[in-house]
Structure 1
Amino acid sequence: MSRIGRKLIPLSDQVTVEISRGSIFVEGPKGKLSLRLHPSMAVKLEDRELHCVRPSDNKLHRSLHGLTRTLIANMVEGVTKGFEKKLEMIGVGYRGSVQGRNLVLMLGYSHPLVLPLPDGINVIVESQNLVTISGADKQQVGEVAAKIRSLRPPEPYKGKGVKYTGERIRRKAGKTGA
């Protein structure tokens, strides 16, 4: 049996969970999230703990068991604590700013890059070159961070570009002059 799938998901007093026909809705102080469950997976609420149940031991059900439990645990954590990713912009003139629901980035191109922010995502530009993305949905936070990073990924020679805070860039030696 799946070790991760067997673990119970504890719920705090701030979280409300509603389970209805193939879907689960989680609501907390940071927002609301929902997930459509696979038809063969079941989720039970017992004593402020969620428990994922699989019908059999075949390979599909085993793989879905841990996945379902992890997705629900991420939803519960997201509506209570939230998730965040930090990005650094390294380069001369690289900076960002928030204008309404848009993130405006200057990344060395001839024009500013304007990214509309999806609902549920908050972006804070701490210093001109440090961006914090936060929200309740772990997948959406990661997706927005990856989209911003893909606009100018860090290059290996000078290290210029957008990188996650704490990410190590493998540096290469440039050409040697003769």
Structure 2
Amino acid sequence: MSGGQFHVHGPHDHEMEHAAQHEPKGLAGQLAVITAVLATVGACFSYMGGATQANAGLYKNNAAITKTEAANRWNYFQAKSSKQNMAELAMDLTTSDDQKAKYREKIARYESEKNEIKTQAEALEAKSAEWDHKSEEQLHEHHRWAQATTVLQVSIALAAIALLTRRRWMEGATVIAGVVGIALGVAAWFHF
């Protein structure tokens, strides 16, 4: 310090200054950089895996809701069919031409309503199938992201083993596992 004052550095201060002035070299430095890169990429892959898993659940939920709506429409269709059947029976049992004409109108109306309800129910079933398909796609993509994240975690573990054992071939295994993990992430990105 300036001004002639006395200053004592602790052992921790000395190590911090030494670390700041000397970057890690050799195996330890390389593994530190590799591990940092792999951990960052792995965190991104993990996020994408969670997002696709959530999407798969939401899409499956939408499929179930839409399927229920379709079932409700089919139940309504059945109710109209029952009413139509009752009107047909009543028409067959009546002898009055006025009553028969009234029942024919009802039968025609029920038939028309049933056709509209059937169209709606079939559209809802198609939409439900579409949601199911989207859910399956997201689930497949989630599995790819999970595989990529797992391989990157194994790669980071290999880096720790390489650092502890000081084996260069383990550093190579770390890089190979990292490349495989990144390749799986790329496959997930492009929906393979």
Taking structure 2 as the reference length, what is the TM-score of the superposition?
0.22
Comparing both structures, which one devotes a greater share of its residues to strand? 1
Comparing both structures, which one devotes a greater share of its residues to helix? 2
Taking structure 1 as the reference length, what is the TM-score of the superposition?
0.24
